[in-house]
Chain A
Amino acid sequence: MLNLCSVTRKTVVDVLCGVVFQFPEYDNLYCKYCFVYGHDWAPTSGLEEGITQITCKGSQSSHKLIWNFPLETTFKSTNPSGWPQLVVSVYGPDVFGNDIVRGYGATHIPFTPGQHTRTIPMFVPEPTWRLQKFTSWLLGRRPEYTDPKVVAQGEGREVTRVRSQGFVTVSFHIMTKDMKKLGYDTGPSSPRNTQSATSGWSTEEQP
């Protein structure tokens, strides 16, 4: 099937660096990421999902957690529908040492080639009721999404209640290929020199 269609190529070069703000108790966080994309998309290189290292707060930039984790993925597609989204979920230990989720977030990968920085607001699902909140805190089993990918879509979200919690900053370096050939002009005014450069993602977490 694939050889039939000419293919939109789109390269995503991401470097992650995370910053966490104002949370003395949130430390040792790590981040899981995955891509969510439509039927017409296929990854051609790079990992679709992965996990970053655990990062601790630095001594100088006291409240930031920086991952500086590069992830590099290339997608191809025939259709802009189902444009890939990056889904990020941050985990870390709580006071009892249980690994719990600190936030979910998603963002569309930018359309235009070049360098972009996206700040993703993060949130976590709330327990259904107070007592559950307490027991989940006590047992270290906070409510989690059955699949982190649900944050990339709207369907079914209406039944959940969430609380916002911090931000993750991601910086993207996007390269596209043959988009114009297929009639999609996403580039800036002069797309001749699509420069690729370094970048970073950062996380900030706030209550």
Chain B
Amino acid sequence: GESLQQEEALLEPASRLQSLRDRDTVTRFDREVSIYPSLSVIVPLRVQPSSGRLTPSVLQVDPDRAGRHDVPLDLSTRVKFREAARRVRPKKQTNSFMYKSFEAYNFFTFNFEPDPQDGSERSSRKRKKLKKAATEEDRDREGGNEARDEEAPLVRDEEEDLFVIEQSSQDFLEVRKAEYVGYRKLIQRERESELFFTPSFRTVPTSIKLPENMKPRYLEDEGLYVGERPPVSLTNENILENRILKMEEKWFGDDGRIMALPDPIKESSTRPPLFHMEEDLDPALQTVYRKVRYTPTATLRSPPVFRSADPEGDYQLDVDVSGLIFSHHPLFSREHVLGARLAQLYDQYLTRQHNNLTGHLTDKLNGLRSALRNMLEIHGGQSLTQAINTRQLRDSEQEKDRTLLKNIVKVWKEIKALREFQKFTNTPYKLYLRRETVDQASDEQEYEDEIFAEVVELEAESEEDYQRKLAEYKKQLEEWKLSRRKQELSESEGPLEEGPPKPEPPEKPDFDSIEQRVREKASRIRRKPGESILIPELSASGNITASELCPKAEIARREDVARRSLFIKILYNDKEVSRTDSRSLNTDFRVHFGQIFNLKIVNCPQSINLQVFEEIGSSCSLLAQVFVPVPEPSVLTGGVPLEEFEFSSNQRVMFDHEGVGSDVPLSFEADGSNKQTLLTSGKLSCCVSWGIGEDDVPLAPPVSQQPGGMHSGLGRLDAVSYIGASGLYDMKKIGEWATQSRLDPNDPKNSSIMQLLKVASSGEVTAPEYFRLEQLQEEFNFVTDEELERSRRFRLLRLRNQEVAEFRNYKCVPALEREVTDKVFQDYEKRLKEGEIIDTKEHLDSHRALVAKYLQKIQESVINRFLLAKHHYLLSDLVVEEEIPSIGILGLNLFKLAEPKRPLKPQRKERKKVTAQNLSDGDIKLLINIIRAYDIPVRRPQMRPFVEVSFQRTVLQTTTADGPNPCWNEELQLPFSAPNGDYSTASLQSVKDEVFINIFDEVVYETGTDKDRGTTHTRAEKHWLGSVKIPFSTIYSQSRIDGTFKVNTPAVLLGYSKERSHGNSGGYDILRSLSEGAFITVFITIEPQLVPGESIREKFDSQEDERLLQASERFERDAAQGYPDRPCITTVIDLNGKTVFITRYIRPLNPPQELLDAYPNNPQEATGLVARFVSLIPSLPDRVSFSGACDLWSTCDQFLTLLAGDEEEHAVLLCNFFLSMGKKAWLIIGTAIPEGPTAYVLTFEQSRYLIWNPSSGQYYGQYDTFCPLQTVGCLVNADNVWFNVQEYASPMRMSFDTTKAKLWKPFFSRSFSHPGLSSVQPEELVYRRVDKAAATELQDRIEKILKEKIMEWRPRHPTRWNRYCTTTLKQFLPKLELSGGRDMAEGHRHELQSLLGDNRISGFPLHLPFSEIRPIIEAVYSTGVHNIQASNVEFALAVYVHPYPNNVLSVWVYLASLVRS
């Protein structure tokens, strides 16, 4: 007896605990249940009310959880039981039964778990049993061992098979009555103690439970659905209510009852049945324990499987495939198409007729009208909207009816016409139109009434509208008047404010037109009064013409039809489970299958798919797929009508016979218009339902197992038939249907759809119309964007990453925000700001400032493009690989081995190139080897010239040499430092520094003699003789510069004379005079050798013909292969970044008229002047400005607007001028020193060739030794490009006769003729007039700036200006300009000397094209005139700016120093 008590005590708290645990998970697993079709077990547990504690009487237990809890429970109980048994057994030795522990266990579990199959009945029986057991226990206690004997009738009572053990369990169990304290007793006890509150069990009056002055409201009486409340005993409820009242909590509903959720008990138990003990277990079914293998992926992926152990799991789906009808088939003849259409229309007609919407609506309208009339009588002035809506609906329905009827008749007529035309019939359709005569008078009366009613309504409506508008108008008018008055008042004070416009009064409705409109509409959509009603009737009773009588094409079609057969595959969960027999296609395109497939299923149904296959001979093809929804569990075989599923396929089929095909445009009109494209389509009639077992048991899974909540929510209601299957996914339609069908929102059956609608209607939850790729982005935003923006440190990092020029190589970004000062950004922000402001200080000229800005913009865009392109790598950028040696190279190498060694003729070796990456300041040196100079101006009696090289403000000089042809042969090393210490290629390419090579003459004056010591004091002065400047970028790109350069000497050198070159007086005067001038031979290189920046590889887009581009690519490739050192250009890039063929740039263009007018009689002078004009346009090497990215060619007008460009632009402009002046001119693409690859101009005059340097305006004869042009790559004119294929490339040793194909390879030849490329140049150039005033102003400003600068450069000495000398010089400068800087020296010197008498004067005029002030300052500085240390020195500075058309300016600076001797 003791042990059972123990057992109970153990079980009860455990189950209670379990219940508590489950309670909090109820909602969660509820949802789980609905999602996963797992079996849930509902276990009613009985709780002993002995303690008076309130426990939920009904508990829901998750099967899994319950099972999990059970296991330890079972174990513990089992152990307990064993212990008990062990204790008991010695007492009961007489017991003849051998009790197995599991049997006992079964007994205990059975006591507390209901039998699921028999449901409540069983449980109640069990309760009874328990009660009986309890009584027995009582007895047992009293009667001791005798109790066993009394058990027999009890078992018999049960009549069902009780377990054997049950009969004897009491033998060893001591059972005691549970101690029960009555409620009254409890209260009594409580009263005694006064400590506890024990709620009363009396019924609480409703009035207390509800808020004051509120009547109880019974929702159920109002027709609302109220769920079934869980059964709770009245006493308990009362106690609960009392307690809640005491606790003052809101737990009462409107009806004054405790709020309760619907009863969660399922109708049927879903617990898997247990095997009955007495059934002999098949030995094969012995359970074997296996450890659970848990594979998370498998459980995720595989669909939920019905419990295989579940005997109910043998579900059956019946798929009834009855047949299919084609609404279009490729083998349809035209008549079939029409027939199908007719049938379709007729079907539509029938359904419409069946629904009789028009009739309904008419009735409704009439009803509404009468109701309205009543209402008007009572209230007057009510809204008409519902009537209007109904009327509009009715009208549209009527219109549809009428058009449908019309269409039916039309199609039938077409069929008839077609049958007549083709002289045979294919379809059995026949249409009869039955006439129903109507009573003319009454009909007319009705018609008129209808119209009248409508007119009245419309009138009322428009009247109402008018009234509303009028009221509004009046309101507005009032406002307007008010504002007017205000305005009038305020007129004196200020300007007139714009008041609201005067409102327009609304128009009165036009009642006459209303009736007209109504009549028009009626005649359109309604049957005319008196017209008989037409009722179409379609029958398929017609005869089909026999095949023999048909034409050949039709016979072919029919044969084709006969050959075809169809079958349907049934795919369950995408696996083929069955297929129908193959049935041949009938002439009426209907196939009857009539097969039912019973699918025994284990897996949860996810998709049922029917595939329609067409068989022709042995080959079969998939026509279409039909997805059939998985039926509701309530859909059982026998009770479901066949459904028709539409299908279609977009396969293109064409025939050569009568069949119209599919996806082929088809026209019924004679002229082939109004084409239609028909696709194979049809209807498959089938039905899928759950099977019924032998004993009428539905073989369907329980409701909860059904996946897809939406379908189950809708399926029971007739939503599908209302909005169609496709509409199920259209929220709007569902919503419409839900409102119209007045769904009960409180019915739990509708909960899923109501929730869906709620989600759909509330705007927030609507699915966005965009797809977000990084929906998790926000998770990773650790600060807001604003904060990120504000962070200076982050900004710095970002700018550096963007490779913004100021920050490109910024080192060591501070670690903390506060350490980043705003100073860092100052430059950058200034630059950003100044993008808009023109700095006149820098530029002196607004136009040039604009140009500079424009250039900067181009430069930026090109640099950006370049930076992008830099990230595209080729294999050769990354990997050094030996090329496969060709036989030629091998042979050459062999030949070299045999070559005799010539130690006395050393050759410059290629040095190893250094990548710029691991360089730092001081690593790079510029090596300048000054070799010798020729023909420098001579000073008598003896001159001591030396060379001074300045670069980046480092100045080095050679020793002095003697005579006019000095030889120094000295090497100077100048350090080089890159801007910001950035030695990357891009940065080096943009270095704008220039190397100045100045030739000076050292003049030694004796200042006095110290007689005591016998020494003389001397003072050395240096006089500037001339200079050569070479930009660093040229050195960098060419890696070495080796040659003889013309020294840029001033036009006048006071105190110096030119030694005339002797000999060859037979030459032309001009030529000889040109070869005059000083020359210097230098060799310049960079140590270590840097890798020059590679040219950009990016392919620019082009508007040129693809063929031309290919040809030019081929031409250039061939040229590069044959003569790698000769530049060849056929395509260039214009300012827009587009590839343009080079000949488009050449076109005769007019030079400024002023220049031509200057020397009307001397064409040679005019030519010189034009060349000078071109050379005065400042040169801007675009290799510098565009950082070596690419060479951009601007057209002449762009060039003249920008007033800056490199050699190519100069050359093109000069060439075009020459062409317009009637000369034969070509563009030479070649290399020159010091420019490197460049463009010159070649002219043919007086039977000799002249080579023009466009950037200096100089010209050279073909045989001029000092011509800077070294190699000639190709010649270009407007028609063609010729590539130099001669042996030599230097102009002296070659012929310029382009007609000789042996010497010049033309681009356009007979095989590829000139396609007539139009020019990119403008037709005519327009020049701006000479602006003298601006020039004068500029002149003054330059003078002022230069004077300031010179004083600045002499900080320790006073700088005095000799005004007299300055004016003299000033007068002299215009003359120099006029003469082009020639032949003035002698006269001028004499003039000056006579003027200034005993002053020792040294100085010279400088001539520059004007671009910016900076180059002028640099040039003045490099002459070193200011360096004179003598105390009594005076300076003279004169500036002259000569304007040329189009704002081209020539600047002369005359700087002289005077020392009084």
A contact set with B: CB distance below 8 Å: 1-2, 4-8, 39-40, 42, 77-79, 81, 125, 127-128, 131-132, 135-136, 139, 141, 143-147, 149-150, 155-160, 182
Chain B residue at smallest Cβ distance from A147:
B915
Q: Which residues of A contact B917 (CB under 8 A)?
A: 147, 149
Given contacts A39-B800, A135-B884, A155-B873, contact A5 B879 (CB under 8 A): no
B84 at the A interface (CB under 8 A): no
Cβ of B878: which chain A residues have Cβ within 8 Å of it? 125, 145-146, 150, 156-157, 159-160
* Complex contacts, A147 vs chain B, CB 8 Å: 915, 917
Instruction: Say if the beta carbon of B910 comes within 8 Å of chain A.
Output: no
Residues facing A in B861-911 (CB within 8 A) are 871, 873-875, 877-882, 884-885
Residue numbers in A under 8 Å from B800 (CB-CB): 39
Q: How many residues of B contact A (CB 8 A)?
A: 26
* Known A159-B875, A160-B875: A78·B812 in contact at CB below 8 Å: yes
Cα separation A63 to B882 with both chains bound (whole Å): 31
A6 touches B884 (CB 8 A): no
Stretch at the interface among B130-138, B339-347, B389-397, B814-822: B814-822
The answer, among B812, B815, B879, for a CB contact under 8 Å with A160, is: B879
| CA gap between A8 and B816 in the complex, in Å | 11
Contact residues, B804-832 vs A (CB, 8 A): 809-816, 819, 821
**Does B797 make an interface contact (CB < 8 A)?**
yes
B1349-1392 interface code vs A (CB 8 A; 1 in, 0 out): 00000000000000000000000000000000000000000000
Residue in B797, B815, B816, B882 whose beta carbon sits within 8 Å of that of A136 in the complex: B882
A156 and B814 contacting across the interface, CB-CB below 8 Å = no
Chain B residues, CB < 8 A from A160: 875, 878-879
| In-complex Cβ contact of B880 among A1, A6, A131, A146 (8 A) | A146
**CB closest residue in chain A, given B821:** A4
Q: Given known contacts A79-B815, A143-B882, what 18 new A-B pairs fall within 8 Å (CB)?
A: A6-B814, A7-B815, A39-B809, A39-B812, A39-B813, A42-B812, A79-B797, A128-B875, A131-B884, A132-B884, A135-B882, A136-B881, A141-B882, A143-B881, A156-B871, A156-B873, A159-B873, A160-B878
Q: Which of A5, A42, A127, A155 sits near B815, CB closer than 8 Å?
A: A5
CB distance from B1030 to the nearest CB of A (A): 30
Task: Determine the distance from Cα of A155 to Cα of B867 in the docked complex, in whole angstroms.
Answer: 14
Check A40 against B881 for contact (C-beta < 8 Å).
no
**Interface 0/1 of B1142-1181, CB less than 8 Å to A:** 0000000000000000000000000000000000000000
Name the residue of chain B whose CB is nearest to the CB of A41: B812
**Nearest chain B CB to A140's CB is how many angstroms away?**
9
| Residue-wise interface mask of B (1381-1419) relative to A, using a CB-CB cutoff of 8 A (1 in contact, 0 not) | 000000000000000000000000000000000000000
The answer to whether B813 and A135 have CB atoms under 8 Å apart is no
Is the Cβ of A146 less than 8 Å from the Cβ of B877? yes
Contact with A144, one of B814, B877, B879 (Cβ below 8 angstroms) = B879
Residue of A nearest to B875 (CB): A159
Question: Contacts A39-B809, A131-B884, A141-B882 given: A156-B877 contact, CB under 8 Å?
Answer: yes
Tell whether A182 pairs with B816 under 8 Å between CB atoms, given A1-B811, A39-B810, A146-B880: yes
Cα–Cα distance between A127 and B797 once the two chains are bound (Å): 39
Q: Are B812 and A145 in contact (CB under 8 A)?
A: no
Q: Are the C-beta atoms of B812 and A77 separated by less than 8 Å?
A: yes
What's the nearest-Cβ distance from chain B to residue A157, in Å? 7
**Within 8 Å CB of B812, what residues of A?**
1-2, 5, 7, 39-40, 42, 77-79
Q: A118 to B369, alpha carbons, bound, how many Å?
A: 92
A171 to B1168, CA, bound (A): 76
Chain A neighbourhood of B877, CB < 8 A: 146, 156, 159
Nearest B residue (CB) for A184: B815
Q: Residue among B797, B800, B812, B821 with the most chain A CB within 10 A?
A: B812
Q: How far is the CB of B874 from chain A (nearest CB, A)?
A: 6
> Please, could you name 6 A-B residue pairs with CB atoms under 8 Å apart, sorted by A?
A4-B821, A136-B881, A143-B879, A143-B882, A156-B873, A160-B879
Contacts of B810 in A (CB 8 A): 39
CA distance A6 to B917 in the complex (A): 27
Q: Which residue from chain B places its CB closest to the CB of A143 in the assembled complex?
A: B881
A184 CA / B1400 CA spacing, docked (Å): 74
Are B814 and A5 in contact (CB-based, < 8 A)? yes
A146: chain B residues within 8 A (beta carbon): 877-880, 915
Assuming the contacts A39-B800, A77-B812, A128-B881, asked whether A6 and B875 have C-beta atoms less than 8 A apart, the reply is no
B879 adjacent to A125 (CB under 8 Å): yes
Closest to A2 in B: B812
Residues of A within 8 A of B821 (CB): 4
CA distance A7 to B813 in the complex (A): 10
A190 to B449, CA, bound (A): 99
Tell me the bound Cα distance from A40 to B800 in angstroms.
11
Chain A residue at smallest Cβ distance from B883: A132
Question: In the complex, what distance in Å separates the CA atom of A143 from the CA atom of B884?
Answer: 12
Set A78, A125, A131: member contacting B813, Cβ < 8 A: A78
Q: Give the residue name and chain of the B residue nearest to A139 (CB).
A: B882
Contacts A135-B882, A147-B917 given; does A159 touch B874 at CB 8 Å: yes
User: For B871, B875, B881, which residue has the most chain A Cβ atoms within 10 angstroms?
Assistant: B881
- CA of A160 to CA of B815 in the docked complex: distance in angstroms? 37
**Chain B, Cβ-Cβ closest to A49:** B918
Which residues in window 130-173 of B have CB below 8 A to A?
Answer: none
- The 3 closest A-B CB pairs, nearest first, are A156-B873, A5-B814, A78-B815
Complex Cα spacing A146 to B816, Å:
37
With a cutoff of 8 Å between Cβ atoms, the chain A residues found around residue B874 in the complex are 159
Q: Which residues of A contact B813 (CB under 8 A)?
A: 5, 39-40, 78-79
> Within the assembled complex, what's the spacing in Å between the Cα atoms of A180 and B819?
17
> Which of B811, B871, B874 has most chain A Cβ within 10 Å?
B811
Check A39–B871 contact: CB distance below 8 A.
Answer: no
CB-nearest residue of chain B relative to A6?
B815
Question: Which residues on B sit within 8 Å (CB–CB) of A143?
Answer: 879-882
Cβ contact within 8 Å between B880 and A145: yes
Q: Which residue of A lies closest to B873 (CB)?
A: A156
* Cα separation A131 to B883 with both chains bound (whole Å): 10
Which of chain B's residues have a CB closer than 8 A to the CB of A145? 878-880
A175 and B881 CA atoms in complex are apart in Å by: 40
Bound-complex Cα distance A5 to B815 (A): 6
A135 to B148, CA, bound (A): 106
Contact with A along B246-283 (1 / 0, CB 8 A): 00000000000000000000000000000000000000
Q: Are B819 and A5 in contact (CB under 8 A)?
A: yes
Bound together, the chains give a CA A8 to CA B880 distance in angstroms of 37
8 Å CB interface, B419-437 against A: none
* Set A7, A42, A157: member contacting B811, Cβ < 8 A: A42
Q: How far is the CA of A79 from the CA of B810 in the complex (A)?
A: 13
Residues of A within 8 A of B811 (CB): 1-2, 39-40, 42
A39 to B797, CA, bound (A): 10
Q: Which of A40, A135, A150 has the most CB of B within 10 A?
A: A40
A136: chain B residues at CB < 8 Å are 881-882
CA distance A138 to B721 in the complex (A): 83
Cross-chain contact A5 with B816 (CB below 8 angstroms):
yes
**Set of chain A residues within 8 Å of B882, measured between Cβ atoms:** 132, 135-136, 139, 141, 143
Q: Which residues on the A side are within 8 Å of B871 (C-beta)?
A: 155-156
Chain B residues near A141 (CB-CB < 8 A): 882
CA separation between A77 and B875, bound complex, in Å? 33
**Cα–Cα distance between A125 and B878 once the two chains are bound (Å):** 10
A125 cross-chain contacts in B, Cβ below 8 A: 878-879, 881
A156 cross-chain contacts in B, Cβ below 8 A:
871, 873, 877-878
Cα-based distance from A6 to B818 in the complex (angstroms)? 11
Instruction: Return B816 CB to nearest CB of chain A, in Å.
Output: 7
Separation of A7 and B815 alpha carbons in the complex (Å): 7
Complex-state Cα separation, A147 to B812, whole angstroms: 24
B915: chain A residues within 8 A (beta carbon): 146-147
Q: How far does the alpha carbon of A111 sit from the alpha carbon of B874 in the complex, in Å? A: 33
Partner of B816, one of A6, A149, A158: A6
User: Which residues does chain A contribute within 8 Å of B875, judged by CB atoms?
Assistant: 128, 159-160
A contact residues around B797 at 8 Å (CB): 79, 81
Report the Cα distance A159→B885, complex, angstroms: 23
